[in-house]
Amino acid sequence: MVHVKLFGLLRLDTGLKEMDADVSSVKELYPILLSEAKRVKPTTQVTAADIDGCIIMINGKQGKKNSRLVDGDQVQLMSPVCGG
C-alpha cells in the first residue's frame, strides 16, 4: 500500500487531499485516482493527461510515471505552477 498526497490545482480539482492505493507503479495510480476523484467530486474534469503533467515525488525524491513503488512509499503529486 502506498500513500498518495495531492497538491495545487490537482488537489482543488479532484477534491482529494490524500489517499492510499495498492499499486506497484505511479502510472497504476492514474485510474484509481480518477475513479476516487469522480466519487468525491462528480463534476471533476481531471484527466490522466492532467496527472501526467504533475511533478511526481516519491519519498521526497523526484520520480517519473514509470517509477516502481513498494509498500510504504509516499507519493506526492503536484500540479505545476503557472501564471500570467
CA atoms within 13 A on the CB side of 82: 7
- What pLDDT, on the 0 to 100 scale, is given for residue 82? 61
Asked whether 37 and 15 are in contact (CB, 8 A), the reply is yes
CA–CA distance, 57 with 10 (Å, rounded to integer)? 14
Report domain extents, the chain.
Answer: 2-78
CATH 3.10.20.30 fits 2-78, yes or no: yes
- What pLDDT, on the 0 to 100 scale, is given for residue 29? 94
Q: Write down the H helix ranges in the chain.
A: 8-14, 29-40, 48-52
Q: Global pTM?
A: 0.89
Q: What is the pLDDT along the chain (84 residues), one digit of tens a residue?
A: 999 999 999 999 999 999 999 999 999 999 999 999 999 999 999 999 999 999 999 999 999 999 999 999 999 999 887 655
